[in-house]
């Protein structure tokens, strides 16, 4: 039996809802067929946006949607995606060696309609590699200017008189690789130029009333390269200590749980050893977050206070702008980076979200890569069919943590005795509280055994509800034209005696229980 002790009387930091963000990009069928089917499509849609995907996204209330990339952002010119669709230019999207025709039918207005339909805030990534400073500035003017400038009038002609009020702006993408192969110093200099060109809308000027306050997000490191990631962060912030500091609000770290070394491990056909190897790989992100948060804090502290009247403090949030499993590429898949998702992916998705929850004082925003038809996706589409992957259900189960306060817990559980992954335990857990309701996650990573669990609280509780996500086989997945193999299941009511709840969780499962505190 595993035991989880939950302290409810001392609440921790609030979990930023932005940690449950999503990411959509022009890769494979991630946008076209995945999100955009067009206004002439026989597939049900909202003005060309795929209805079943929009409806399901709306149900999990994504706080953030990042677009247009990713790698695609550094070849994307925003003017190609506005105006009459039949007049928009066409060209080949060559990301990841593909030759996919890009017709630009999904652009700024279409993306913003998606955000409005699902209730998400947009995060725009500007083109630093093949674009210009002027192009980026004009994009900000086009979407955000409220007065009747030429660009604001053009936006109105294109169907949206009111400004979109985009807050989050990523300056480049993965500039250490395909985004330009910059050095940290070189990128910092470009970052200064791009952010300095951005409209202020009155922000920071004492004699004006600010209408907007843009959030500038800098490119953080490649989280999968231990030496490079540390040096990039040190060198980037060292550059910011020189002379006047640029505006910077966020620092965008990327991390993937690579699964590329074993050719026998395919997305849906893998061994028990591969199950544990990939699950173990997900935990590296917590070490990366701790390291990068420390380096970021040290870097910010080293930035000297500016001279003069308009000196200001600096605060930079750590962000994980891309995360998820990246398995061996399947050359028989419908499109590049298209991946099925099994219970293995659901387990690592749950563990990763709990890493963010557990470190909510260190990381403030994160986006899974990606929402539809790409890598660690929530949706897979084919023709008129849409599949909800197990990852979707994890996000759905975990909604209660958004805006809640994390709780201190102590877990007593057995190690699995793995030779290579010797630190792996059977049970992982996280708990949060909001409005006297405690939400407890229980992740059983054992591929073979269910587990009895005792939850010990510091005051009496009442069971409210619970759900489990599980399947008979570890490589089960939800497929087109078939009944779902992995879906949410109601749990048996726990045996509650005072402050203790006893229950059981299935093998290879994610379970979420909610309890009401009884105050006397």
Residues assigned a catalytic role:
174, 322
* Opening angle at CA 40, ends 37 and 45, nearest 5: 50
Residue pair 170/122 in contact by the 8 Å Cβ criterion: no
Element (H, E) at 501: strand 500-505
Q: Which residues are CB-contacts of 319 (< 8 A; sequence separation ≥ 6)?
A: 217, 220, 250, 251, 252, 253, 363, 364, 365, 366
Chain centre distance of CA 328: 21
Are β-strands 385-388 and 379-382 bridged in parallel, bridged antiparallel, or unpaired? Answer: antiparallel
How many Cα atoms sit within 13 Å of 139 on the Cβ side? 30
Distance CA 83, CA 101 (A): 19
Token output for 200: 């202020």
Q: Which residues are CB-contacts of 134 (< 8 A; sequence separation ≥ 6)?
A: 197
Distance CA 271, CA 264 (A): 9
Q: Which residues are CB-contacts of 122 (< 8 A; sequence separation ≥ 6)?
A: 64, 65, 67, 111, 112, 115, 164, 166, 168
Does 370 sit behind a cis peptide bond, omega within 30 degrees of 0 on the bond before it?
yes
Name the residue with tokens 């009247």: 309
Q: Which residues are CB-contacts of 450 (< 8 A; sequence separation ≥ 6)?
A: 444, 504, 505, 506, 507
Distance CA 265, CA 152 (A): 52
Residue pair 377/391 in contact by the 8 Å Cβ criterion: yes
Residue pair 463/493 in contact by the 8 Å Cβ criterion: yes
Helix (H, G, I), strand (E, B) or coil at 394: helix
Distance CA 460, CA 501 (A): 10
**Three-state SS across 89-143?**
CCEEECHHHCCEEECCCCCHHHHHHHHHHHCCEEEEEECCCCCCHHHHHHHHHHH
Phi and psi angles of residue 217, each rounded to the nearest 5 degrees, phi first: -115, 120
In the DSSP assignment, the letter for residue 342 is B
Distance CA 184, CA 194 (A): 15
């Amino acid at each position: 039996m595993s035991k989880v002790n939950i302290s409810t009387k001392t609440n921790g930091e609030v979990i930023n809802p932005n940690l449950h963000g999503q990411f959509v990009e022009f890769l494979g069928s991630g946008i076209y067929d995945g999100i955009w089917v067009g206004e002439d499509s026989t597939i049900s849609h909202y003005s060309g946006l795929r209805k079943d995907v929009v409806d399901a996204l709306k149900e999990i209330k994504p706080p953030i949607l990042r677009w247009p990339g990713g790698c695609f952002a550094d070849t994307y010119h925003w003017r190609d995606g506005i105006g009459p669709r039949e007049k928009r230019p066409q060209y080949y999207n060559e990301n990841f060696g593909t030759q996919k025709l890009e017709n630009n039918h999904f652009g700024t207005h279409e993306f913003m309609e998606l955000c409005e339909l699902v209730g998400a805030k947009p995060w725009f990534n500007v083109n630093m590699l093949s674009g210009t400073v002027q192009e980026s500035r004009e994009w900000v003017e086009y979407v955000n200017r409220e007065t009747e400038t030429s660009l604001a009038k053009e936006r109105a002609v294109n169907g949206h008189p009111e400004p979109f009020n985009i807050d989050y702006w990523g300056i480049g993408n993965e500039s250490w690789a395909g985004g330009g192969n910059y050095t940290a110093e070189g990128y910092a200099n470009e970052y200064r130029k791009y952010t300095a060109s951005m409209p202020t809308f009155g922000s920071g000027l004492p004699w004006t009333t600010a209408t907007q306050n843009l959030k500038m997000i800098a490119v953080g490191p490649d989280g999968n390269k231990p030496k490079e990631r540390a040096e990039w962060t040190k060198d980037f912030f060292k550059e910011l200590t020189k002379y006047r500091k640029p505006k910077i609000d966020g620092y965008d770290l990327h991390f993937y749980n690579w699964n590329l070394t074993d050719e026998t491990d395919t997305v849906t056909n893998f061994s028990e050893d591969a199950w544990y190897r990939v699950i173990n790989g997900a935990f590296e992100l917590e070490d990366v977050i701790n390291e990068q948060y420390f380096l970021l804090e040290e870097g910010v502290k080293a930035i000297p206070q500016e001279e003069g009247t308009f000196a200001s403090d600096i605060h930079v949030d750590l962000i994980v702008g891309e995360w998820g499993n990246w398995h061996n590429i399947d050359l028989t898949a419908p499109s590049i980076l298209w991946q099925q998702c099994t219970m293995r992916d659901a387990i690592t998705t749950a563990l990763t979200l709990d890493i963010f929850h557990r470190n909510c004082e260190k990381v403030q925003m994160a986006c899974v890569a990606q929402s539809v038809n790409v890598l660690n996706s929530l949706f897979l589409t084919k023709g008129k069919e849409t599949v909800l992957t197990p990852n979707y259900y994890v996000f759905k189960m975990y909604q209660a943590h958004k805006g809640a306060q994390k709780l201190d817990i102590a877990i007593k559980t057995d190690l699995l005795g793995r030779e290579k992954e010797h630190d792996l335990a059977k049970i992982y857990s996280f708990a949060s509280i909001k409005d006297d309701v405690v939400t407890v996650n229980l992740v059983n990573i054992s591929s073979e055994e269910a587990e009895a669990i005792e939850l010990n609280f510091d005051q009496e509780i009442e069971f409210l509800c619970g759900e489990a996500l599980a399947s008979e086989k570890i490589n089960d997945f939800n497929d087109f034209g078939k009944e779902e193999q992995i879906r949410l299941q109601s749990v048996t009511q726990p045996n509650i005696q005072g402050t203790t709840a006893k229950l059981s969780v299935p093998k290879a499962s994610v379970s979420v229980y909610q309890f009401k505190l009884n105050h006397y």
